[in-house]
Amino acid sequence: MEFHMTILVGILVTVAVYLLLSRNMVRIILGTAVLSHAVHLLLITMGGAGEGKVPLLRESEGPYADALPQALILTAIVISFATTALLLVLAYRTYEESGSDNMNTIRRIDRE
Protein backbone atom coordinates (compact mmCIF):
# COMPACT_ATOMS: atom_id res chain seq x y z
CA MET A 1 0.00 0.00 0.00
CA GLU A 2 2.80 2.44 0.96
CA PHE A 3 4.27 2.11 -2.51
CA HIS A 4 1.08 3.21 -4.25
CA MET A 5 0.50 6.00 -1.80
CA THR A 6 4.01 7.37 -2.32
CA ILE A 7 3.54 7.38 -6.09
CA LEU A 8 0.24 9.24 -5.60
CA VAL A 9 1.99 11.79 -3.36
CA GLY A 10 4.55 12.34 -6.12
CA ILE A 11 1.80 13.02 -8.65
CA LEU A 12 0.08 15.44 -6.28
CA VAL A 13 3.36 17.30 -5.63
CA THR A 14 4.01 17.57 -9.36
CA VAL A 15 0.57 19.05 -9.97
CA ALA A 16 0.90 21.39 -6.98
CA VAL A 17 4.32 22.71 -8.02
CA TYR A 18 3.16 23.25 -11.58
CA LEU A 19 0.19 25.24 -10.32
CA LEU A 20 2.41 27.28 -7.97
CA LEU A 21 4.63 28.25 -10.90
CA SER A 22 1.75 29.77 -12.87
CA ARG A 23 0.82 33.44 -13.15
CA ASN A 24 -2.78 33.31 -12.08
CA MET A 25 -3.45 33.96 -8.42
CA VAL A 26 -6.25 31.38 -8.10
CA ARG A 27 -4.02 28.69 -9.66
CA ILE A 28 -1.30 29.50 -7.14
CA ILE A 29 -3.75 29.20 -4.23
CA LEU A 30 -5.08 25.91 -5.55
CA GLY A 31 -1.46 24.79 -5.79
CA THR A 32 -0.97 25.40 -2.07
CA ALA A 33 -4.16 23.45 -1.30
CA VAL A 34 -3.05 20.45 -3.39
CA LEU A 35 0.41 20.61 -1.84
CA SER A 36 -1.05 20.34 1.65
CA HIS A 37 -3.12 17.32 0.62
CA ALA A 38 0.06 15.71 -0.66
CA VAL A 39 1.95 16.41 2.54
CA HIS A 40 -0.85 15.06 4.75
CA LEU A 41 -0.99 11.83 2.77
CA LEU A 42 2.79 11.51 2.85
CA LEU A 43 2.85 11.95 6.63
CA ILE A 44 0.19 9.35 7.35
CA THR A 45 1.78 6.92 4.89
CA MET A 46 5.16 7.31 6.58
CA GLY A 47 3.47 6.47 9.90
CA GLY A 48 2.60 3.03 8.55
CA ALA A 49 -0.53 3.19 6.41
CA GLY A 50 -3.30 0.91 7.53
CA GLU A 51 -1.35 -0.91 10.24
CA GLY A 52 -2.82 -1.44 13.68
CA LYS A 53 -6.16 -0.46 15.12
CA VAL A 54 -7.85 2.89 15.67
CA PRO A 55 -5.90 4.69 18.48
CA LEU A 56 -8.80 4.74 20.94
CA LEU A 57 -7.84 2.95 24.14
CA ARG A 58 -11.37 1.84 25.15
CA GLU A 59 -12.23 0.42 21.71
CA SER A 60 -9.58 -2.25 21.35
CA GLU A 61 -6.54 -3.84 22.97
CA GLY A 62 -4.04 -2.75 20.28
CA PRO A 63 -1.62 -2.72 18.68
CA TYR A 64 -2.73 0.74 17.64
CA ALA A 65 -1.99 2.75 14.52
CA ASP A 66 0.70 5.40 15.04
CA ALA A 67 -1.07 8.35 16.72
CA LEU A 68 1.74 10.88 16.45
CA PRO A 69 1.49 11.55 12.67
CA GLN A 70 -2.26 11.81 13.10
CA ALA A 71 -1.84 14.54 15.69
CA LEU A 72 0.63 16.38 13.47
CA ILE A 73 -1.68 16.18 10.47
CA LEU A 74 -4.62 17.44 12.48
CA THR A 75 -2.62 20.56 13.31
CA ALA A 76 -1.50 20.89 9.70
CA ILE A 77 -5.03 20.66 8.30
CA VAL A 78 -6.21 23.54 10.44
CA ILE A 79 -3.20 25.70 9.63
CA SER A 80 -3.43 25.06 5.90
CA PHE A 81 -7.07 26.08 6.08
CA ALA A 82 -6.08 29.33 7.78
CA THR A 83 -3.46 30.14 5.15
CA THR A 84 -5.82 29.27 2.28
CA ALA A 85 -8.44 31.60 3.69
CA LEU A 86 -5.91 34.39 4.09
CA LEU A 87 -4.57 33.89 0.57
CA LEU A 88 -8.05 33.96 -0.91
CA VAL A 89 -8.90 37.23 0.79
CA LEU A 90 -5.52 38.62 -0.28
CA ALA A 91 -6.28 37.66 -3.87
CA TYR A 92 -9.70 39.27 -3.68
CA ARG A 93 -8.29 42.52 -2.28
CA THR A 94 -5.41 42.56 -4.74
CA TYR A 95 -7.81 42.19 -7.62
CA GLU A 96 -10.00 44.92 -6.20
CA GLU A 97 -7.04 47.32 -5.94
CA SER A 98 -5.15 46.44 -9.08
CA GLY A 99 -7.83 45.15 -11.38
CA SER A 100 -5.82 42.07 -12.27
CA ASP A 101 -5.37 38.50 -11.13
CA ASN A 102 -2.19 38.03 -13.13
CA MET A 103 1.00 38.19 -11.06
CA ASN A 104 3.00 39.73 -13.89
CA THR A 105 0.54 42.55 -14.42
CA ILE A 106 0.44 43.22 -10.71
CA ARG A 107 4.23 43.34 -10.66
CA ARG A 108 4.26 45.98 -13.38
CA ILE A 109 1.75 48.10 -11.45
CA ASP A 110 3.91 47.78 -8.37
CA ARG A 111 7.03 48.98 -10.18
CA GLU A 112 5.41 51.99 -11.76
Partner 1 sequence: MFAVFVIFLPFIMALFLPAVHRLIGDRLIGWYVMAVPLVLFATLVRLIPRIADGEVIDVSYAWIPEAGIDLAVRVDGLGMIFALLITGVGTLVALYSIYYLSPRESLGHFYVYLLLFMGAMLGVVFSDNLMLLYTFWELTSISSFLLIAFWYHRKGSRYGAQKAMLITVMGGVSMLAGFLMLYFMTGTFSISEIIGMRETLAGESLIVPAMFLILLGAFTKSVQFPFHIWLPDAMEAPTPVSAYLHSATMVKAGIYLVALFTPLFGGLDAWFWSLSIAGIVTLLWGAFNAMKQNDLKALLAYSTISQLGLIMSLLGFGSAALSADAAGDPTVYAAAGFAALFYLLNHSTFKGLLFMVIGIVDHEIGTRDIRRLGGLMSFMPVTFTFAVIGSFSMAGLPPFNGFLSKEMFFGAAVNIASGQPFAGGAEVLFPVVGWLASVFTFVYCTIIVYRTFLGPVQPEKIDRVPREAPKGMLVAPGILAALVILIFFFPNIIGKYVIGPAMPVMFPVLSQEANLVPEIEAWHGVNLPLVMTFGVIALGLLLFITFRHWKRIYRVAPFRWTMDSIYRGLLQTGEAGSTIVTDLYMTGRSRDYFAFIYVFFLVTVGGMLFLTGAFEPDFSRGPVGIFEISFVIIMAFAAIAMLFARSRITATLLNGVLGYSVAIFFVFFRAPDLALTQTVIETVTTVLFLLCFHFLPEWKPEDSPLRTKIVNGLIAIGAGTLVTAFGLTVQGYDVYSSISSYFEDSYKLAGGSNIVNAILGDFRAFDTMLEVVVLFIAGIGVYTLIALKPKKGGDDIEGK
**Least distance (Å) from partner 1 to the CB of residue 7?**
6
User: Are 108 and 42 a contacting pair, CB within 8 Å?
Assistant: no
Q: Give the nearest distance from C-beta 19 to partner 1 in angstroms.
A: 7
Question: Rounded to a whole number, what is the distance in angstroms from the first to the last CA of the chain?
Answer: 54
Residues 49-68 that bind partner 1 (CB under 8 A): 49-50, 52-58, 62, 64-68
- 29-48 residues in contact with partner 1 (CB under 8 A) are 30, 33-34, 37-38, 40-42, 44-47
Task: Give the shortest CB-34-to-partner 1 separation in angstroms.
Answer: 6
With contacts defined by CB under 8 A, how many residues of the chain interact with partner 1? 84
Q: How far is CA 28 from CA 60, 64, 80, in A?
A: 43, 38, 14
